[in-house]
Chains A and B, each alone.
Chain A
Amino acid sequence: MIQTLFGSLDEQQKPSFLDRMKEAVTRTRENLSDRIEEVVAFSKEIDRATLDDLEATLIGADLGTSTTHEVLSKLREKADRKQIKNVDELKRLLKEELLAILAAANSQPVQKVDGTPEVILLVGVNGTGKTTTIGKLAQVFRSQGKTVLLCAADTFRAAAIEQLEIWGERTGTEVIRTKAGGDPSAVLFDALQAASARQTDYVIVDTAGRLHTKTNLMAELEKMRRTAQRIIPGAPHETLLVMDATTGQNGLQQARLFTESAGVTGIVLAKLDGTAKGGVVVAISRELGLPVRYVGVGEKPGDLLPFDARDFVDSLFA
């Protein structure tokens, strides 16, 4: 109630009104699909239990309730229209549905100007695997014969700089660094100047993990972006949100807020070598149109793969 002093009352009323609108629409849609479900008579093979199984699979893979329900209600429509009779065919249709969502998210990185370095910024919450991903990315580019410079802009977490330096050694890449606690934008400035002078092909920038709810830390990312733009036109060309494959529905909120502050252009789904399916990226693709660029599948330098939507969708049902 005190917050009205700062005008936040007006600010918060608008979204909450919109939220309510959205909620109303969603409810209508849910009711509608419920009704469709009642009307559509499924053949004996595709019964309630089959759909429940599919629902459990999708929710169990972290797609979230709204994405799952939307996908399944589309599936019902199609199944009815095409007179689908068996379960395998239904599954195939479902996979198509998911692939269509992932394919629709195809935003491209900003084209770099010839003769200047391509700048890749990695962001994400704490402990998702940013530094490890950078090491592996450096390996990818090095193996293509490109020159790479790493920028240690995580000056906050204990030994983050040392960790990146070890990856630098492993991949034969130089690391531009400052002292712990230094200004991340300052070290970014130095790295980009150095890269411009040397005409390096890629600069990969490590940032400190931060929870997307910390407004001040998110503002720091905006500042880093402005710094990058001042030195190299169009930079950062690619901003990758590194997401832990075990992340649940909070991943959506991460993607939303990091995109707001840091202009995320794609996702790296890390730690996909465990049992987590990482299905939240489907929800992210659907809501925000952000594509997955790479998946992390281990701790070795070679354990970074380009994202293959078909493999990914298959793995959801494995």
Chain B
Amino acid sequence: MFENLQEKLQRAFKTLRGQAVLNEENIQEALREIRLALLEADVNFKVVKQLIDHIQEKAVGQQVATALSPGEQVIKILRDELIETLGRDTARLKFASQPPTVVLMAGLQGSGKTTTSGKLANWLKNGGHRPLLVSVDVYRPAAREQLKVVAQAIKANLYEGEVGEANTATVERLAKEARREAINTGSDVLIVDTAGRLHIDDQLMEEMQSLKRLLNPQEILFVADAMTGQDAVRSADEFHKKLTLTGVVLTKMDGDARGGAALSIRQVTGQPIKFIGVGEKYDALEPFHPDRIVSRILGMGDILSLIEKAEQNVDKKKAEEMASRALAGDGFSLEDFRDQLRQVKKMGSLQSLMGMLPSIGPFAGLQKHADKVDEKQLNRVEAIINSMTAHERTHHEVINGSRRKRIARGSGTSVQEVNNLLRQYAQMRKMFKQIGKASFARKLAGMKLPGM
């Protein structure tokens, strides 16, 4: 139901044609769809209510603009509101004037603190810092061993220390020793990985507080799982009340969770989301971009990342020419097709590109096929097109049976494969025509996305 928020809003506003102003009655159905969409994305229901109220307030009384449909207009208000809530800028880490800077990692069990500690150390190392890692998780079996393996993998320094008894005194001692070690070894950032704990576990929350007093950290990062549901507000709220968090890391964002928890957590803590975890490799940590997660929560894909990638690698003028020709209808030739293939190959792996497509409209359902893409196919397709004459490439209808045989021979493929390609090419032409009609895709093709 989530995939088509945009379509649903369009439908909700069909009745609105001819009305000049958005008012309380005529946006009710749209607000209902938005509410469902946000709830389905795991935004906390109280936060949803606040958001809906704000959106209603802002929308009511607005002139129905001529450039945007009422649906697009409400989406824009919604998106602006969500981005506003998440904070506009990608936050940065705060560093101490007198090193070492201390970063304290906090969160529930299994949210990804240890992996994130490693990723953060890796990120800092790449930025020219000298991080020191320490795990004060003396409770979970092999937790400290885990950080040790991580530190070795990223070649970061680790303070190991001796455990002895698994209690708060040991935790405090390890923290103090690690701090001294950081000073002695000239490490400028100390990352303290802590045991996962429930926000209602008073004893362990007190331990966190005493760690905070002891280390006086510049950053206390709340590590939260992107798949968290309605309870995100409670845990984040408790952690924030007891520790005064300075930021949030949202992990496991490489899955298909909508990540509505981001909104909930931001709303209750008021603290920025600083990073997102996007994979199991140690470089899979990215700065947080509010606009992108909003598109994701709304099911509109990470178009911005896709555009950035495209801009880096694609000959923009050529692409625009091609796109406008293709979308106009008949102008998309096999030659354009080959150009496009070459451009795509320059952009990197198809898998990562497909993952960024929005899950709505013509791209619905494609994302989950990303893993199955066979990159070698691209070369075969290019070979087939290369074996055509220039005339054939611009006039595909002349390619008859004997030409197909020749092309197959020339490209080292089979007639079936040539047939396949031609059929798919025909489908693409058809699809382009359809896309050409949708205003959203026209924008995508022109790579001009107002407000994104």
Q: Which residues of A contact B (CB under 8 A)?
A: 1-9, 11-12, 15-16, 19, 23, 26, 56, 59-62, 64-66, 125-129, 135, 156-160, 162-163, 165-167, 180, 211-216, 244-251, 253-254, 271, 273-277, 280, 299
CB distance from A139 to the nearest CB of B (A): 13
B412 CB → nearest A CB, Å: 17
Residues of B within 8 Å of A212, CB to CB, are 255-256
Whether B110 contacts A271 by the Cβ 8 Å rule is yes
A62-B231, A249-B41, A249-B42 known; A19 vs B255 contact (CB < 8 Å) = no
Residues on B with C-beta less than 8 A from A167 are 141
B328 within 8 A of A: no
Instruction: Report whether B366 and A8 are in contact in the complex, using a CB–CB cutoff of 8 Å.
Output: yes
Q: CA–CA, A158 to B260, complex, Å?
A: 29
B234 within 8 A of A: yes
> Does B235 contact A250, Cβ atoms closer than 8 Å?
no
Enumerate chain B interface residues (CB-CB to A < 8 A).
1, 3-4, 36, 39-42, 44-45, 108-112, 114, 139-143, 145-150, 153, 198-200, 225, 227-232, 234-235, 252, 254-258, 260-261, 280, 340-341, 344, 350, 354, 362, 364-366, 368-369, 371-374, 377-378, 381, 420-421, 424, 427-428, 431-432, 435
- Knowing A5-B378, A250-B255, say if A127 contacts B111 (CB, 8 Å): yes
* A158-B146, A275-B199, A277-B231 as given contacts; A127 in contact with B42, CB under 8 Å: no
CB-based contact A249/B40 at 8 Å = yes
Nearest B residue (CB) for A298:
B198
A26 to B227, CA, bound (A): 25
Inter-chain contacts of B141 with A (CB < 8 A): 135, 162-163, 166-167
A249 close to B229 (CB less than 8 A): yes
Instruction: Please indicate the chain A residues that have their CB under 8 angstroms from the CB of B139 in the complex.
Output: 299
Within the complex, which residue of B109, B149, B261 is in contact with A159, where a contact is CB–CB below 8 Å? B149
Inter-chain contact B146/A248, CB cutoff 8 Å? no
Q: Report whether B149 and A23 are in contact in the complex, using a CB–CB cutoff of 8 Å.
A: no
Which residue of the partner chain, among A5, A11, A247, A250, contacts B258 with CB atoms under 8 Å? A250
Contact B364 A274 (CB under 8 A): no
| Further pairs besides A157-B146, A158-B150: 8, Cβ < 8 Å | A1-B362, A5-B381, A126-B280, A211-B254, A246-B229, A248-B228, A248-B261, A275-B235
- Which residues from A are CB-within-8-Å of B147? 158
Contact partners of B225 in chain A: CB under 8 A: 127, 244, 246-247
Q: Which residues of B contact A249 (CB under 8 A)?
A: 40-42, 229, 258
Query: 8 interchain pairs (CB within 8 A)?
Result: A4-B428, A5-B377, A6-B373, A16-B364, A60-B230, A126-B110, A247-B229, A299-B139
List the A side residues contacting B143 at CB < 8 Å: 159, 163
| B201: min CB distance to chain A, Å | 9
**Is there contact, CB below 8 Å, between B108 and A271?**
yes
Q: How far is the CA of A212 from the CA of B254 in the complex (A)?
A: 10
Assess whether A251 is in contact with B142, with CB atoms less than 8 Å apart.
no
Least Cβ distance of A182 to chain B in Å? Answer: 15
B257 vs chain A, min Cβ distance (A): 4
Using CB atoms, name the residue of chain B closest to A64. B40
A5 to B379, CA, bound (A): 11
Residue of B36, B109, B150, B372 near A127 (CB, 8 A) is B109
User: CB-CB < 8 A to B366: which residues of A?
Assistant: 3, 8, 12
* CB-CB nearest in chain B for A275: B234
Task: Decide if B378 touches A158 in the complex (CB within 8 Å).
Answer: no
Q: Is the CB of A65 within 8 A of B36?
A: yes
Beta-carbon contact of A4 and B110 below 8 Å: no
**A51 CB, nearest partner CB in chain B, Å:** 14
Interchain CB contact (< 8 A) of B235 among A3, A15, A274 = A274
CA distance A277 to B231 in the complex (A): 8
- C-alpha gap A276/B232 in the complex (Å): 8
User: Do the beta carbons of B371 and A166 come within 8 Å of each other?
Assistant: no
